[in-house]
């Protein structure tokens, strides 16, 4: 796709490795919504360009077919970029419309690992954004207990994160969530940077509860 002068000008602003998410948000705040420009930027395959494109997309124009294409494109990125892009797409577009929320909720058994990850990360997000937890925690935990050890790493992390959020915000399930970590041993030996929360469920839940004074 031949880029418009607007897209070319933006690309000169975001090719520097020093470009931060805050810089992209500033550009997006000036442009507002521009779906055609977003698709131009997306076509460049650049990581920063695609992050900005997500901010500029019109959620009303994101059909299931288009979203499947975006996810497929994201899968071509390296691991760290891939996870950032899919989470960015969820938070800034998919989680903002009832239609795309319903689509995410249909991804539990998708053949795409990124779509399955998004299903689980969305379930976790429903809990830590501060609203009343949905009534499906029992069902989710049963699935986590039977599936988590056989999932691919990116989905496994999201399932673990969901169990953590359930354990933090729903005391009645807390012991069960801690037990998942103890039984599976997932992330038990993980080394984390100072001031970072470990993914091992017993530690994760304990640390977050201390922060919340629960």
Q: Which of 33, 136, 21 is nearest to 93 (CA)?
A: 33
**What is the reported pLDDT for 196?**
87
pLDDT tens-place string over residues 7-51: 999 999 897 778 888 899 999 999 999 999 999 999 999 999 999
- H/E element holding 2? none
**HEC per residue, 105-154:** CCCCCCCCHHHHHHHHHHHHHHHHCCCCCCCCHHHHHHHHHHHHHHCCHH
pLDDT reported for residue 214: 58
The pTM for the full model equals 0.92
Residue 74 exposed, middle or buried by CB count within 10 Å (0-12, 13-18, 19+): buried
- Residue-wise pLDDT for 109-163, tens only, equals 999 999 999 999 999 999 877 678 899 999 999 999 999 999 999 999 999 999 9
């Amino acid at each position: 796709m031949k880029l418009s002068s607007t897209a070319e000008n933006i690309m000169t602003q975001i090719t520097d490795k020093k470009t931060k998410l805050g810089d992209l948000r500033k550009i997006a705040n000036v442009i507002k919504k521009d779906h055609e420009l977003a698709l131009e930027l997306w076509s460049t395959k650049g990581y920063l360009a695609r992050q900005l494109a997500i901010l500029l997309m019109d959620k009303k124009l994101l059909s299931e077919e288009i979203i499947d294409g975006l996810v497929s494109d994201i899968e071509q990125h390296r691991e760290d970029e891939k996870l950032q892009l899919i989470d960015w797409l969820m938070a800034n577009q998919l989680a903002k419309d009832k239609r795309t929320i319903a689509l995410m909720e249909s991804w539990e058994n998708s053949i795409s690992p990124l779509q399955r990850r998004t299903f689980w990360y969305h379930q976790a997000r429903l809990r830590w954004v501060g609203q009343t937890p949905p009534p499906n925690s029992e069902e989710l935990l049963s699935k986590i207990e039977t599936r988590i050890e056989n999932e691919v790493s990116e989905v496994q992390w999201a399932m673990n994160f969901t169990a953590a959020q359930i354990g933090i915000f729903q005391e009645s399930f807390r012991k069960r969530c801690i037990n998942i970590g103890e039984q599976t041993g997932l992330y038990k030996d993980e080394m984390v940077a100072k001031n970072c929360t470990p993914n091992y469920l017993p530690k994760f839940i304990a640390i977050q509860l201390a922060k919340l004074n629960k």
